[in-house]
Each structure stands twice: as structure tokens, then as C-alpha cells.
């Protein structure tokens, strides 16, 4: 594994095991320097708790960026997740353009929707702005719902390979160099990840566990980014991240009180073992 400096831009949900509170420990566990730019601070995530207390940090973005530029700070990779506002996406575009080192990578997880629906905080204007970030991405990491919103495709629960490939093609047409599409299974009881990039198309399929949890998209993206930027191939990183998420879910299913996220911390030894063996 090589040591790289990664900037991740996403919210801090203080309670709920998603976004920054999973990205920072997971990317660090992958052996990478992890710098953060919090897009907003929320008392909890927005799925299943009452309405949280929210501090949008959009007005602070220009000041943070100006200070970094004064200090000649730059990054080997920038990875974005859940952002605070549509206006913030303009600032993030500028950060992509000015703060990435030569040959640096841009990874966009358009964390904004699942199961056919946008998350409560977002609307079509946010989707349109996210399309602009996707157009600059070396890798975009959507689930099928997000891929459909980004490409203006009607969401289809009973998809087949032709439908999935047409959506992937549209994501490439938006400008995304590589697509890592999560939650894709073509056989009963299976799920997986479809990778479309420089080396063609690959599909890693594995058993779909009986329960799905909030925050697993963020955990997947973080483990993928840490593994890939650290030196694994895109296919290896996609597989390690998928297996790690399964391990996190297995470590959580027995505890009904833990409904808000997965116990990802208990599977960090598994992740590290996969990276170094």
C-alpha cells in the first residue's frame, strides 16, 4: 500500500454511523492521510430520527479553501459524499479544479437517494448540480436510484442487465471516467457491484444479506477509496469494500437496538487484514 493524502468532503452526522464519522476512521484504517472538509454538522442523520439540528457550513468553504491555498496544500485524491446545499456544489467544483495534485483522483459518491427516492433534504436542483460534479469524476459511486436520478432515467426495481448497462453508459456520457454501481444483483438472493472503467466491465456478485442498513453506502465508498487510492486495483478495491460491508452487517444483525447504522468499527480488523494479506 502507498501513503496518499485524501480530502473527503461530506457532512458530520454526530450520531448515526454514516458520512464523515465512518469515512475518517475507515480511510485512516486503510493507511491513508485523511483530511476533512465538513459540509454540514447535523445532530443525527436524517433517516429514522426526528428532524435534526443542522449547521450548514457552506459560508465557510471559501475561507477554508483560501487558507489551504495560502499554505500550498493539495491532495492526491478528493472524495465527496453527502453535501450541505446546492450552492456548496459550486465551491466543491472549484476545489476539484484547484486543489487536486497532478494525476490526482476525483471520486464522487452522489449520496442523495435510495430505494427509488431522494433523501429528505434534496430536490431536483441538487440533482442537477450533482451532475456537474459527476462530469469531473474519475470514479462515480452511485446506487441504482442515484444513477437513475443523475441520468434522468425512470427507476426500475426489476432491472435486467440491458437496463443497468444503459444507465452506466449514460453516466459515462455525463463525463464519469469509471462507474462503480452498487447494489446490483442479477440472480435471486444476490447483490453486488458493477465496475465499468478502462478495463471494460466487471461484476462482483455476492449474497444479499437479509437486512439492509443506513450508512452502508458511505462505508462502501470509504473502504473503496482507501483501498484504491492506497494501491489496490479498482476491481480489488470494489471487492474488498463489498466484503467489508457484508462483514459489518453480519456484526450488527443480532442486535435489534442497533437500527441506525452498522457496527463498522468491529470489522476494521477484517478490512485491514484484507488490505495487507
Query: Rounded to the nearest whole angstrom, what is the least distance from the CB of residue 224 to ligand PXL in the complex?
Result: 15
Q: Which is nearer to ligand PXL, 217 or 230 (CB)?
A: 217
- Which phi and psi angles does 42 have, rounded to 5°? -120, 145
Binding site residues, ligand PXL, CB under 6 A: 11, 13, 18-19, 42, 45-47, 82, 111, 119, 215, 217-218
Residues 92 and 258: their CA atoms lie apart, in Å, by: 33
Residues 129 and 46: their CA atoms lie apart, in Å, by: 21
Residues 93 and 88: their CA atoms lie apart, in Å, by: 9
Q: Does residue 217 contact residue 223 with C-beta atoms inside 8 Å?
A: no
Going by C-alpha positions, the residue among 225, 226, 219, 210 that lies closest to residue 244 is 219
The three three-digit cell numbers of residue 125, written as one number: 436542483
Q: Which is nearer to ligand PXL, 68 or 122 (CB)?
A: 122
Residues 66 and 78: their CA atoms lie apart, in Å, by: 17
Q: Does residue 168 contact residue 194 with C-beta atoms inside 8 Å?
A: yes
Provide the 10 A C-beta neighbour count for residue 171.
25
Query: Rounded to the nearest whole angstrom, what is the least distance from the CB of residue 173 to ligand PXL in the complex?
Result: 26
Q: Which is nearer to ligand PXL, 24 or 47 (CB)?
A: 47
Q: Which is nearer to ligand PXL, 119 or 270 (CB)?
A: 119
Query: Rounded to the nearest whole angstrom, what is the least distance from the CB of residue 4 to ligand PXL in the complex?
Result: 24
User: 3-class DSSP state for residue 104?
Assistant: strand
Residues 4 and 33: their CA atoms lie apart, in Å, by: 6
Query: Rounded to the nearest whole angstrom, what is the least distance from the CB of residue 164 to ligand PXL in the complex?
Result: 22
Query: Rounded to the nearest whole angstrom, what is the least distance from the CB of residue 203 to ligand PXL in the complex?
Result: 24
Q: Which is nearer to ligand PXL, 3 or 51 (CB)?
A: 51
Query: Rounded to the nearest whole angstrom, what is the least distance from the CB of residue 34 to ligand PXL in the complex?
Result: 17
Q: Does residue 130 contact residue 89 with C-beta atoms inside 8 Å?
A: yes
Q: Which is nearer to ligand PXL, 25 or 175 (CB)?
A: 25
Amino acid at each position: 500500500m502507498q501513503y496518499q493524502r485524501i480530502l473527503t468532503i461530506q457532512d458530520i452526522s454526530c450520531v448515526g454511523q454514516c458520512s464523515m464519522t465512518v469515512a475518517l476512521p475507515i480511510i485512516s484504517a486503510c493507511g491513508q492521510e485523511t483530511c476533512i472538509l465538513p459540509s454540514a454538522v447535523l445532530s443525527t442523520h436524517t433517516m429514522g430520527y426526528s428532524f435534526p439540528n443542522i449547521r450548514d457550513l457552506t459560508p465557510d468553504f471559501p475561507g477554508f479553501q483560501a487558507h489551504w491555498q495560502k499554505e500550498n496544500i493539495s491532495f492526491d485524491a478528493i472524495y465527496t459524499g453527502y453535501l450541505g446545499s446546492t450552492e456548496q456544489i459550486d465551491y466543491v467544483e472549484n476545489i476539484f479544479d484547484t486543489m487536486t495534485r497532478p494525476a490526482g483522483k476525483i471520486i464522487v459518491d452522489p449520496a442523495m437517494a435510495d430505494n427509488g427516492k431522494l433523501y429528505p433534504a434534496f430536490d431536483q436542483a441538487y440533482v442537477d448540480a450533482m451532475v456537474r460534479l459527476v462530469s469531473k469524476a474519475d470514479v462515480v459511486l452511485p446506487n441504482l436510484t442515484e444513477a437513475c436520478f443523475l441520468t434522468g432515467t425512470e427507476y426500475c426495481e426489476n432491472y435486467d442487465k440491458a437496463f443497468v448497462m444503459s444507465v452506466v453508459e449514460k453516466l459515462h456520457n455525463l463525463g464519469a471516467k469509471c462507474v462503480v454501481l452498487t447494489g446490483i444483483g442479477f440472480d435471486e438472493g444476490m447483490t453486488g457491484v458493477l465496475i465499468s472503467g478502462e478495463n471494460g466491465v466487471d461484476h462482483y456478485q455476492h449474497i444479499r444479506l437479509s437486512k439492509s442498513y443506513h450508512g452502508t453506502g458511505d462505508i462502501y465508498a470509504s473502504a473503496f477509496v482507501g483501498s484504491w487510492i492506497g494501491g489496490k486495483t479498482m476491481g480489488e478495491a470494489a471487492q474488498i469494500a463489498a466484503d467489508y460491508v457484508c462483514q459489518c452487517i453480519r456484526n450488527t444483525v443480532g442486535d435489534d437496538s442497533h437500527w441506525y447504522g452498522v457496527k463498522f468499527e468491529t470489522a476494521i480488523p477484517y478490512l485491514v487484514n484484507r488490505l495487507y494479506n
